Amino acid sequence: MIVLDLLTRTLLSAKADNVLGMLLNAAYIFGMWGIFRKCGLKPWQALVPCLRDVCVGKAAGREDAGRVVAFVNGLMIAIDLFALFRFGDAAAQDRISDALQIAGVALAIIEIIYTVRCYIGLIEVFGQRRAWLWLWIPLESVPAVMWGWMKKYQPLWTVSEMKSDMADFFSGSKAAVMDQGLTVNLEERTATEAFKKKYLLRDIHMYIQPGHMVLLLGGSGAGKTTFLNAVNGYEKAKAEVMLNGRNMYTEYKDMQYEIGFVPQLDLMRGSDSVYRTLMDAASLRLPVSFSKAERAERVEEVMKIFGLTPVKNNLVSKLSGGQRKRLSIAMEFISNPSLFILDEPDSGLDGVMARELFEQLRMIADQGKIIIVITHTPDRVIDMFDDVIVLAKDSNRTGRLAFFGSIGDARAFFGKERMEEIVKSVNRQEEGGEGRADEFIKKYAEVQHA
């Protein structure tokens, strides 16, 4: 009798849990029906598993995350169906069962992560506090019903309003290809994220003259590094990049040492001397036709240019911050490239050391080289630059060209004196900016056509 009573209680408890789960699921669907209606989506889509997840992502402005949730839920349904069938003997079935459980746990973790992203997006769309997340995560049906059917909860914008006309806006102008200098005609740089094509960069066209030192500006995520990687051929885009009349993409193997790239973090061995470091760079970057004596002569010449001769026998680990930066640049200068790209070369340097470094870069540019620099403190050395490139995220979060031209023209175009103020003007409001990226992207296109 005790066993029978225990079994009865267990069955009734399981049945009650199942009924409660069904009621909560129905409430969630009911709530999403209202949310979809408010956000401009078809309410009936709340009834369809997986499609509902995609639509939650759309309503939240997180469609990519919604697609991931839908895909993961589809896999979990497939696993549940697969578990109904039996394969082989009991041992084989146990192994399959264990594997399915592990896969189910992994998928559940992924689902939670991307579902949270969707809910954060919904919170932003409805203009509510992040504290709501603590109710959405454990008991999603309650906020879903409240937001879906209570008048006090209204989205700040609908799905259609999230879709900016910037997706179809193009400048329609291309830069002319010259025999000398750098011409960039970049149509798009894309990536695949959550099974969907994502635009990282679009519609960027410019011509940079030889001997010009160019500042590359843009807020976080505007695509500065992606743009530079597209220019130097490291990550190819749908683009035509011409350097001194030659195509960087089709002739990359022959031209790879025509571009010197200095990353923010150097990759030098601290146990090598300055001279050995540069000799190794010469062996890698100079043509094989160069003799050892010719390589040594080139190293001596470069050390003299960058003021490294007095420390030629010092270990890299013993150099000051400024000396390490100069050595990093000298390694790339060994091959005498036509284009220099530097990612925050003044990072960690004080004002005096930074100015000395940029004076050397100015000297290189004056030899007819093209210098493109990313720096987060541009105003302290702005007099060194000829031109400025301003990249900005449009309302679709795609990197676009908001301006290219002289420093003086940039100040007049944006109505700002300082370069840091220009960056602030194109940054999104939630990033502390003015949120005027679309305005300046379109304004610059109009100026180009004028």
Of 160, 263, 242, 237, which Cα lies nearest the Cα of 399? 237
- Token pair of 417, please? 């004196």
Amino acid at 108: A
| pLDDT, average across residues 97-125 | 85
pLDDT on residue 22: 84
Q: What are phi and psi of 276, to 5 degrees?
A: -65, -40
426, 440 contact by CB (below 8 A): yes
Task: Name the residue with tokens 């061995």.
Answer: 269
Of 233, 332, 345, 327, which Cα lies nearest the Cα of 284? 332
pLDDT on residue 92: 67
Task: Name the residue with tokens 């209680």.
Answer: 9
pLDDT confidence band for 162 (50 / 70 / 90): low
Task: Name the residue with tokens 């959550």.
Answer: 194
The per-residue pLDDT of the chain, averaged, comes to 85
- Token pair of 214, please? 């160019």
DSSP state of 273: B
207, 389 contact by CB (below 8 A): no
| Structure confidence by residue, pLDDT tens digits, 41-51 | 999 999 988 89
Facing residues of 201 across strands? 189, 399
- C-alpha 276/C-alpha 285 separation (Å) is 14
pLDDT on residue 11: 36
Task: Name the residue with tokens 């989205």.
Answer: 155
- C-alpha 202/C-alpha 188 separation (Å) is 4
pLDDT confidence band for 186 (50 / 70 / 90): very high
pLDDT on residue 32: 92
pLDDT on residue 325: 84
In the sheet that holds 213-217, the strands lie side by side as 246-247, 238-243, 182-193, 196-208, 399-406, 387-393, 213-217, 370-374, 339-343, 259-262
pLDDT on residue 4: 37
- C-alpha 425/C-alpha 413 separation (Å) is 12
123, 133 contact by CB (below 8 A): yes
| Structure confidence by residue, pLDDT tens digits, 213-230 | 999 999 888 899 999 999
- C-alpha 435/C-alpha 221 separation (Å) is 14
Pairing label, strands 238-243, 182-193: antiparallel
| Structure confidence by residue, pLDDT tens digits, 390-449 | 999 888 788 999 999 999 999 999 999 999 999 999 988 777 888 899 899 999 988 876
Amino acid at 229: N
| Structure confidence by residue, pLDDT tens digits, 83-98 | 666 666 667 666 777 7
| pLDDT, average across residues 276-291 | 88
Res. 10: pLDDT tops 70: no
Instruction: Provide the 3-class DSSP secondary structure of residue 259.
Output: strand
Report the chain's C-alpha Rg in angstroms. 29
pLDDT confidence band for 333 (50 / 70 / 90): confident
286, 295 contact by CB (below 8 A): yes
Query: Which of the listed ranges 73-87, 89-103, 125-139, 148-162 does the model predict with the highest average pLDDT?
Result: 125-139
pLDDT on residue 7: 37
202, 213 contact by CB (below 8 A): no
Which residues contact residue 267 at a Cβ distance below 8 angstroms, ignoring those fewer than 6 apart? none
Helix (H) or strand (E) holding 20: helix 2-38
pLDDT confidence band for 196 (50 / 70 / 90): low
| pLDDT, average across residues 98-117 | 84
Task: Name the residue with tokens 């790239």.
Answer: 261
Range of weakest confidence among 42-46, 102-106, 146-150, 270-274: 102-106
Cβ neighbourhood burial of 21 (10 Å; 0-12, 13-18, 19+): exposed
pLDDT on residue 345: 84
Helix 292-305, helix 274-285: angle, nearest 10: 120
- C-alpha 225/C-alpha 192 separation (Å) is 18
DSSP percent split of the chain into helix, strand, coil, nearest 5: 55, 15, 30
Res. 183: pLDDT tops 50: yes
* Domains of the chain: residue spans and CATH: 2-157 (no CATH), 166-449 (3.40.50.300)
Task: Indicate if the alpha-carbon torsion angle 81, 86, 88, 93 is positive or negative.
Answer: positive
Res. 106: pLDDT tops 80: yes
Res. 381: pLDDT tops 80: yes
DSSP state of 177: P
| pLDDT, average across residues 22-33 | 90
| Cα angle 120, 125, 129; round to 5 | 60
- Token pair of 305, please? 């240019």
Which residues contact residue 168 at a Cβ distance below 8 angstroms, ignoring those fewer than 6 apart? none
Range of weakest confidence among 88-97, 288-297, 340-349: 88-97
Integer CA distances (angstroms), 404 to 205, 323, 389, 448, in order: 9, 32, 5, 10
Helix (H) or strand (E) holding 50: none
pLDDT on residue 165: 60
Integer CA distances (angstroms), 4 to 9, 13, 14, 148, 214, in order: 9, 14, 15, 45, 83
| Structure confidence by residue, pLDDT tens digits, 358-376 | 998 999 999 999 999 999 8
- Token pair of 250, please? 């089709």
Cβ neighbourhood burial of 361 (10 Å; 0-12, 13-18, 19+): buried
Query: Which of the listed ranges 96-110, 251-265, 397-411 does the model predict with the highest average pLDDT?
Result: 397-411
Res. 182: pLDDT tops 70: yes
pLDDT on residue 14: 41
